[in-house]
Structure 1
Amino acid sequence: MRQIVLDTETTGLSAENGDRIIEIGCVELLNRKLTGNNLHYYINPERDSHEDALKVHGISNEFLRDKPKFAAIADQLLDYLRGAEVIIHNAPFDISFLNKEMERLGHPAITTILGPVTDSLVMAKEMFPGKRNGLDALCDRLGVDNSGRTLHGALLDAELLADVYINMTRGQDALLMDLGDAPGEGGQVETLDLSRFELPVLLANEQESQAHEGVLNDLDKASKGKTVWRKLQTA
């Protein structure tokens, strides 16, 4: 499965009002492994960045003057993204800018050539309701080193988000990956037949059940009744 973690930096907050992309960073995952086949562009947006945007990314207008325009990198970007699942933090923002750039070139929306688009911000809000779920907060919560992130940068942010995403989705996949990576004799992968094991089922006692229900109630309250398990109970 090929996945691309993508981030952009822009001149401002509104693609519809003429703001443009100034940087694109893409990190490739293949079967949840970083491949090193990344893509990174600085782009001449043909306009200046807003002052507030400059404070966020620190990429000066002068630095971008001699960089390629979006039209010059569009085909390579499309070839790189084609068919992949794309993972973006706050996906509607980046997708709106990419679609607007495609529109200027007379191309269909970029989503027409992508696989699924996964919004890691939506995932984080479901996993950590009521908490801060920006990239820095998730790095702190999940133990991802973001000490080099003093300003926003598309490639650095995509690299951090790749680590955050792998941590958020580790679960059972991590166990399978670890088993698959362990070499057996002769360098061959040894397959473990889990059907040989009979595991006892340990049921929670009354005190444990009450404590668990209290945690669920707290999460339900923090998310204003939007937790998945409550929806499933009433379905």
Structure 2
Amino acid sequence: MKRSILFDTETTGLDPATGDRVIEIAALELIDDLPTGRNFHVLINPERDIPPEASRVHGFTLADLEGKPLFAAVADGFLEFVGEDVLIAHNAPFDFGFMNAELSACGRPTLDRARMVDTLVLAKKRFPGLPNSLDALCRRFSIDLSERTTHNALLDCKLLAEVYLELMGGRQRGLGLATPAAGGNVASYQIQSGRIPRPMPEPDEATLAAHAAFLSSIKSPIWQR
């Protein structure tokens, strides 16, 4: 089984190099690209103000985060949850940049970008020239957006999990219309299509008689021309 972690952050702004901080982390566990129900979710006191323009995006003000833990207090829990598995995010360099700035600041190991899967890159390859925001992808895949009034990290993760599954081929990506290639065999066809052929039962005498009667009722059948 392949384990991967899909995660998202909300922040006080756009650039950790100018002092912006993480205020929310959400992460979902996937096994073979499907959510297991296990998740990691925390709100964080950023130890600084939250500009109004950022609050308009995610809905949080500093008052909402009073009494919440500092990043250093949740860092180990996050690292334990993600383990060494693949890390999936939409516009992943943004989330990796913020998380690594926070992890480095509190003396924890940073996230290796070799683990990064960026669903924005996947979407641009599949839908070049089209809008590929999370909202746009949800609409394209008919995923319900009714609860997304702000950029809540946990809800965004749940939506992105559905988007990621569609980008990877959907729940039935093993099913297809492939037929055995020349020189191929039934076993390879079964693997490609996900189908297991079942033998047809031999028709009984009554079925054969009914079929013969039906054929005799056809005027000028093409197989007799």
TM-score range, shorter chain: 0.7 to 0.9
Match in the other structure for 2:44? 43
TM-score, normalising length: structure 2: 0.75
User: How high is the sequence identity, in percent, across the aligned residues?
Assistant: 46
Bigger Rg, which one: 2
Match in the other structure for 1:174? 173
The change in CA–CA distance for 1:51 and 1:174 in structure 2 (over 3 A counts) is: same
Match in the other structure for 1:193? 187
Match in the other structure for 1:226? none
The change in CA–CA distance for 1:88 and 1:195 in structure 2 (over 3 A counts) is: closer
Any residues of structure 2 matched to 1:76-225 within 5 Å, and which? Answer: 76-111=77-112, 116-170=115-169, 174-175=173-174, 193-195=187-189
Distance 1:53 1:83 in 2: 31
Distance 1:37 1:30 in 2: 10
Gaps of at least 5 residues in structure 1 are 177-191, 200-235
SS of 2:37's partner is coil
Match in the other structure for 1:75? 76
Distance 2:172 2:127 in 1: 20
Deviates more, 1:80-89 or 1:167-176: 167-176
TM-score, normalising length: structure 1: 0.72
Distance 2:9 2:133 in 1: 15
Alignment pair present for 1:8 and 2:14 = no
How far apart are 1:171 and its partner, in Å?
Answer: 6.0
**Paired residue type of 1:78:** L
SS of 1:37's partner is strand
Count of aligned pairs? 181
SS of 1:35's partner is strand
Distance 1:196 1:30 in 2: 23
Q: Is the 8 A contact 2:34 2:161 kept in 1?
A: no
What is the root-mean-square deviation of aligned Cα atoms in Å?
2.1
How far apart are 1:195 and its partner, in Å?
Answer: 4.5
How far apart are 1:109 and its partner, in Å?
Answer: 1.9
More helix by share: 1
Match in the other structure for 1:202? none
Distance 1:32 1:106 in 2: 31
Match in the other structure for 2:212? none
How far apart are 1:173 and its partner, in Å?
Answer: 6.4
How far apart are 1:108 and its partner, in Å?
Answer: 3.0
Distance 1:96 1:158 in 2: 18
